Amino acid sequence: MIRLALGTILFLAVALPAAAQVKPDAAPERFDVADTNKDGKVDRTEYDGFVEELVLLHDADHDDRLSRSEVAGARDPSKFDRIDADKDGFLTALEIAAFSTGDFAVMDANSDGFIDRAEAARHK
């Protein structure tokens, strides 16, 4: 089970296929997608599941890692280099998890174990 954080979601989500890119600011929609039980909060389980889906979605050649071209639409290319710890040009699940382990805690400003809509909005 890979454990990822919303910072990574935001990095990957902008590279979603056209349907998800229609609106310039898609953060609320992404929040709604991640909040699968629609309680207005994203917990770690929802969060991890959402990111796993994103990784699967982007992994066009199904080699379980993301190449630079697979995330070519990302809005912040510099993040690729920060996530790619061994600088081999691919993001593995382990690298993504390592990068974002602290992100959930950072996003969860009030440390209640959930990222709510207001907390997510601060990290667009």
Binding site for Ca ion (CB under 5 A): 59, 61, 63, 84, 86, 88, 90, 108, 110, 112, 114
Cβ at position 26, least distance to Ca ion in Å: 21
Q: Where are the alpha helices (DSSP H) in 18-90?
A: 27-34, 44-58, 77-83
Which residue, 11 or 114, has its beta carbon nearer to Ca ion? Answer: 114
Identify the CA nearest to 52 among candidates 70, 43, 64, 40.
64
Which residue, 24 or 94, has its beta carbon nearer to Ca ion? Answer: 94
Cβ at position 114, least distance to Ca ion in Å: 5
> Are 85 and 100 in contact, with CB atoms under 8 Å apart?
no
